[in-house]
Structure 1
Amino acid sequence: MSLKEYFEKTKGVGILSTADEKGNVDAAVYATPHVLEEGTVAFIMRQRLSHYNVTRNPKACYLFMENSPGYEGKRLYLTRIKEEKNSEELMKLRRRHTQVTPGENLYLVTFSVDEVLPLLCKEDLC
């Protein structure tokens, strides 16, 4: 199953972990990523700590835990490749149209998917 199909069909909770240039780590709850094409995903970010961190350190990890018995899910290891501010593409991709404060910027941050691992590995090398 492709990442696009997986995230369209699977319900769960996602956590995006980022770190700044000094290695200070942050973790935040995020919706499922927008799979733009296989190997590329995007998140819509507000101007908060996760966005600050990925502008200084392009590496991130998205952990997704399925709403199912046991510990099923995926870990996506990511590298930021571009971002758009308040773009038309961002507005098209928004799933929930929560209110944006006047003057607040939204960012469509695109990542390459470097590696996909299961939430829990069944092998020693995972």
Structure 2
Amino acid sequence: MNLSDYFENAEGLGILATSDSDGMVDIAVYSRPHVVDETTVAFVMKERLSHRNLKSNPHAAYMFVEQGGGCAGKRLYLTMIREETNTSLVEEFRKRQPAMYPAGDDSNKYIVFFQVENVWPLVGD
């Protein structure tokens, strides 16, 4: 199953891990990624610690734990390749997951694109 099909159909909890240039780690709950193609994913990010960390260290890891118990899910190892502040694109992405991005939220948002370096199962390898 490719990433696009997987994340369109899987339900669960996503966690993004980043660190700053000194190696101080942060983890945060994130929605499913927007799959651009099989080697590129994107997240809508606010001006928070995860976004700030990526400014000094472009590497991140995303863990997705599927609903239903057990150890089903995926780990994605990522490298940030660019970000955009295109408001129409942000709005398009927000509409796909309205619960994560309430309409009244007018904080600054960015679409951050990542190259997918590796994909592993949640457990193993």
> Same fold, TM exceeding 0.5?
yes
Tell me if the contact between 1:18 and 1:53 (Cα under 8 Å) persists in the aligned partners: yes
Q: Report what 2:60 is aligned to.
A: 60
Matches within 5 A, 1:25-40: 25-40=25-40
Which of 100, 105, 110 pairs up with 2:105? 100
Deviations 1:17-38 (A, max 9, x none): 0000100000000000000111
2:123 is the alignment partner of 1:120: yes
Q: Report what 1:110 is aligned to.
A: 113
Please, what TM-score do these two structures have when normalized by structure 2? 0.92
User: Residue type of the partner of 1:49?
Assistant: L
Q: In structure 1, what is the Cα distance between the partners aligned to 2:86 and 2:57?
A: 22
Runs of 4+ in 1 over 3 A off after TM superposition: none
User: Residue type of the partner of 2:33?
Assistant: P
How far is the alpha carbon of 1:91 from its aligned partner?
1.3
Q: Alignment length, in residue pairs?
A: 120
Q: In structure 2, what is the Cα distance between the partners aligned to 1:48 and 1:116?
A: 26
Q: In structure 1, what is the Cα distance between the partners aligned to 2:35 and 2:120?
A: 16
Q: In structure 2, what is the Cα distance between the partners aligned to 1:92 and 1:3?
A: 20
Q: What is the percentage of aligned positions where both structures have the same residue? A: 48
Q: Report what 1:87 is aligned to.
A: 87
How far is the alpha carbon of 1:88 from its aligned partner?
1.8
Q: Report what 2:17 is aligned to.
A: 17
Give the CA RMSD over aligned residues.
1.0
How far is the alpha carbon of 1:86 from its aligned partner?
4.3
User: Residue type of the partner of 2:116?
Assistant: V
Larger radius of gyration: 1
